[in-house]
Amino acid sequence: MSSPEQWTRPEPDAGPAATAARPTAEQVIAGLRATDEGGADLVQLLTPEGERVQHPDFDIDVTAEELRGLYRDMVLVRRVDREANALQRKGQLGIWVPLLGQEAAQIGAGRAMRPTDMAFPSYREHGIAWCRGIPPTDLLGIFRGTDHGTWDPLEKRFHPYTIVIGNQVLNAAGYAMGQKFDGAVGDDDGEATICFFGDGATSQGDVHEGFVWGAVYDAPLVFFCQNNQWAISEPTERQSRLPLYQRARGYGFPGIRVDGNDVLATLAVTRWALDECRNGNGPVLIEAFTYRMDAHTTSDDPTRYRLSDELEMWKLKDPIERVKVHLVKQQWADAAYFEGVEAEADVLAAELRDFCVAMPEPPAQRIFSGVYAEASPVLDAQRDEFLDYVSGFAGGEH
């Protein structure tokens, strides 16, 4: 199922919309377990062993240079992630949200976007941020407690991290509606929006409502669900009886499960989905089947709820290793190339470290800034009273 053609919007008199066959019991079970098997519908272009395989509906031509670029992206964001995780362990960050294991899902999706497309992330989308040109150092303040995010969402076309689960899906739906109302949708030059959320978020009402709004307004919106198998301690079967991509059928748009550890497949499927949207055939749901190889956050302890066997199983499907194997097999990269990327990662990590420890404390008046676009006299009075109080300590023993 899930061929793109099958999901093309039917003509008004063409009868009921196309629907996929009922899933088999085997498919259902495969889709529900915290498993490394994505089932028969999984779109894959590069096997865990680094073998390039064909898919009847989704394919992609990549040059050696492009594949090296995807590899480099993944290595660098993984290094950023590991370094930030270490900074938390050293007390330099209050918390960190690891992306380990989800590099292919994010780099594949992020590199499928055009500069004019808009992204609405959750809070684990460090790889998408990387693809939007946001320096990794810009992510640190949120987790160090110096700010709530520093990038310009409109300039970068990357919404602030959204921490309340699922909220951003509705915000993205509204933004996509605006793209359509602006006449920015309908051909190959059109715009599209992509929003990111996890398997746990699919239980939120806002995600359901986002699916409804996206569908009834034909919004140019790609719903990109990273199913990393775990919502903190709860496996996907606590969220759904049905593989998540199959939910799309109930809303009337295509749902595709892609191997989220396969950067090529994720790139191909997301590019197709964004193109569908920019041409006016949205929305589309993508379920990127992947695995959270680290804890939910640095405050989490996965040993309390999952077996290490599962992690070992997923390590064999590492998103970066398979690309490296393929690059070597194809003779598209040599040892010097890989060493160069590692060296680049070392520099990036050192920069991140140096930047983090030197971050200044925010000034006290930051508490009061940016609450309103038009000043509130009540708040201004409260600020002035507080700053006056603070200034009373100037030069004193405080």
Partner 1 sequence: MAAPTMDRAGTGGASPTQTLTISKALNSGLRAAMEADPKVVVMGEDIGKLGGVFRITDGLQKDFGEQRVLDTPLAESGIIGTAVGLAIRGYRPVCEIQFDGFIFPGFDQIVSQVAKLHYRTQGRITLPMVIRVPFGGGIGAVEHHSESPESYFAHTAGLKVVSCSNPADAYWMIQQAIACEDPVLFFEPKRRYYEKGEVDTTARPGPLFASRVLRTGTAATLVAYGPMVRTCLDAAAAAAEDGTELEVIDLRTLSPLDLAPVHESVRRTGRLVVVSEAPSESSISSEIAAKVQQECFYSLQAPVLRVTGFDTPYPPSKLEEEFLPDLDRVLHAVDRSLAW
Q: Active-site residues: which are they?
A: 292, 296, 305
The span from the CA of 73 to the CA of 296, in Å, is 22
> What DSSP string describes 24-71?
PHHHHHHHHSS-S---TT-B-SB-TTS-B---SS------HHHHHHHH
Q: Which residues, 42 to 101, sit near partner 1 by CB under 8 A? A: none
> Mask 155-174, x = binds partner 1 (CB under 8 A)?
----xx-x-x--x-xxxxxx
> What DSSP string describes 196-208?
EEETGGGGSHHHH
Nearest distance in Å: CB 271, partner 1: 23
> What DSSP string describes 127-149?
HHHHHTT--THHHHHHHHTS-S-
> Mask 249-278, x = binds partner 1 (CB under 8 A)?
------------------------------
- 59 or 147: whose CB is closer to partner 1? 147
Q: Does 206 bind partner 1 (CB under 8 A)?
A: yes
Q: Does 200 bind partner 1 (CB under 8 A)?
A: no
Hey, what are 186's tokens?
């309908």
- Radius of gyration (Cα) for the chain, nearest Å? 22
- 3 or 150: whose CB is closer to partner 1? 150
Q: Which of 377, 388, 394, 395 binds partner 1 (CB under 8 A)?
A: 377
> Mask 334-373, x = binds partner 1 (CB under 8 A)?
-----------------------------------xxxxx
Nearest distance in Å: CB 218, partner 1: 12
- 69 or 141: whose CB is closer to partner 1? 141
Q: Could you tell me which residues come within 8 angstroms of residue 223 by beta carbon, excluding any fewer than 6 positions away? A: 169, 195, 197, 207, 210, 211, 214, 248, 283, 284, 285, 286
Nearest distance in Å: CB 168, partner 1: 8
Q: Interacting stretch for partner 1, rule CB under 8 A, among 50-58, 92-100, 374-382, 385-393?
A: 374-382
Q: Bridge partners of 43?
A: 258
φ, ψ for residue 225, nearest 5 deg: -95, 115
Q: Which residues, 209 to 248, sit near partner 1 by CB under 8 A? A: 209-210, 212-213, 216
Residue 58: Cβ-neighbour burial (10 angstroms; 0-12, 13-18, 19+): buried
The span from the CA of 224 to the CA of 273, in Å, is 10
Q: Does 182 bind partner 1 (CB under 8 A)?
A: yes
* Cα-to-chain-centroid distance, residue 390: 42
Q: Interacting stretch for partner 1, rule CB under 8 A, among 19-27, 50-58, 142-150, 289-297?
A: 142-150
Residue type, 180: K
Nearest distance in Å: CB 195, partner 1: 10
Q: Does 176 bind partner 1 (CB under 8 A)?
A: yes
Q: Could you tell me which residues come within 8 angstroms of residue 181 by beta carbon, excluding any fewer than 6 positions away? A: none
- 143 or 230: whose CB is closer to partner 1? 143
Residue type, 307: L
Number of residues in contact with partner 1 under rule CB under 8 A: 42
Contacts with partner 1, residue ranges (CB under 8 A): 147-150, 152-154, 159-160, 162, 164, 167, 169-179, 181-182, 205-206, 209-210, 212-213, 216, 369-374, 376-379
